[in-house]
Amino acid sequence: MSRTAQAHRTARPAWMEKPKPVTQAGKAIALVVTVLLVVIPFWVVIATSLAPDAQVVENGGWALWPDEFSFRAYDKVISGGVVTHALLVSVGVTVIGTAASLLCTVLLAYALARPGVVGGKPMMLLILFTFLFPPGLIPSFLVVDGLGLRNSYWALVLPVLINVFNLVVVRGFFQGIPEELYEAARLDGASELRTLFTIVLPLSKAVIAVVGLFYAVGYWNDFFRAVLYLDDSGMWPLQTVMRGYVTQGQKFTDDASQMEMTVQAPQTIRMAVVVLGTLPILCVYPFLQRYFTKGVLTGAVKS
């Protein structure tokens, strides 16, 4: 692309006024304040987890900058066995749950997006009804208990396998794919599954990435479902264990199946658990962020 064409694309539209210096300064100040409101609390948590216990106690439970950087809190948390096991549980539930949810959501959304599917409209109305009137806590518990899923990790996955909002988003994206692509696939003799996996999914990387991130964050951050369905605290995921460390002052013994209420854990250990519970999603997000604004259909249908 020539420089003239690039300048024409980046030029300000004729109808848009040139921003005033006061407006630009206000936007910059608002952006800086927003960034500081997000970064400073997270840095305080990290700094507290790396600071010595004496400094944290002296400063009233927090540290803005550690006098001495120490990973003693992380070593104590990980070597204890409970958090390590809970972290593995969370990773397994998140990976398996996200993969299963994406597969079921994509298959159901593709079926509902294609015209002429038998029972497609009643099925869609039924799904939307569950979105408007979700089941209560007691009916959900009775269903999980009746299916024999209590005290198993499937109780953390199957009840929330398909999210209606994510299903509607994926279905709408599939409906926006030009019909000419489907017709071309049918003329080439492609089956519906082949059309889905060779044509539709390559064009749907953006929505799959976004919905996959929604599912992963939901599975990773869920703590209440484990409390409700898992009687053995040794099976709890990281977020549930972290809740006990941070909010209830629980102390977990070396035996992952035992837990007792005692004096709250040191602030450094509590903040280390918070960092361990937050860091994985922060590491994954940058790799998916580019799909949020990427136009995957640009040039899909050539004139």
State how far the Cα of 227 lies from the Cα of 14, in Å rounded to an integer.
59
Question: Mean of the pLDDT values across residues 110-119?
Answer: 84
pLDDT exceeds cutoff 60 at 49 = yes
What is the average pLDDT score of the chain?
Answer: 80
- pLDDT grade for 257, boundaries at 50, 70 and 90: very low
pLDDT at 269: 80
List of domains in the chain: 3-70 (no CATH), 76-292 (1.10.3720.10)
State how far the Cα of 195 lies from the Cα of 223, in Å rounded to an integer.
38
pLDDT at 29: 94
- pLDDT grade for 6, boundaries at 50, 70 and 90: low
- pLDDT grade for 300, boundaries at 50, 70 and 90: very low
pLDDT exceeds cutoff 50 at 260 = no
Q: Give the model confidence (pLDDT) of 285-295 as tens digits.
A: 777 666 665 53
